[in-house]
Amino acid sequence: MIYLYAKSLHIIFVVSWFAGLFYMPRLFVYHTEANDRPEAERRVLLAQFTKMEGLLFRAIMVPALWLTLLTGTTMLYLMPAWLSQGWMQLKLTFVLGLLGYHFSTRKLLNELKAQRFRFSSFQLRLWNEVATVFLFAIVFLVVLKNTLDWVWGVLGLLAFAVLLMSAVRIVKRLRSKS
């Protein structure tokens, strides 16, 4: 019974963490695009986005990250045999990648707070899709418990993302010609 409670909480905290991981890069896009506004509007928008990003990171993403790790570790403690299974080892590898993504997002947050804009809004839109790839890979692994089937899901997602981003670029070019 403890396992089911840990699993339920783990799912809730993963959803909360991913909500932040999906929304933060979108805020980065808006934050970056605010630079194109007139000075008075720009100042207000940059201050507002900096505030929103900081609050999202500190109040949602960090607690959700730690609670996800705590409940995941609890489940592994209750089911230690999973650690010897290939799908779990691969899943944990993706979780490490997701942690890297989380901390890279924090680095971007600090750069934008210091008004250092290394990436265009288009590049940040692409960055936003990285979390989606991690989500697909992890969910396919957990549900299918197969180290190979997840590849097809992720490849399909990547193809869809490339198609979507190509469409965004085409629409952007058509608008700029008008």
Q: Which residues are annotated as a binding site for heme?
A: 10, 91
Handedness of CA 84, 141, 63, 25 (dihedral sign): positive
Q: What is the largest CA-CA distance in the chain?
A: 62
End-to-end CA distance of the chain: 62
6's CB contacts (< 8 A; 6+ apart) are: 71, 74, 75, 78
Report the binding-site residues.
10, 91
Please name the helix (run of DSSP H) or strand (run of DSSP E) that holds residue 110, with its range, or none.
helix 86-113
**How wide is the angle at C-alpha 8 spanned by C-alphas 145 and 11, nearest 5°?**
65
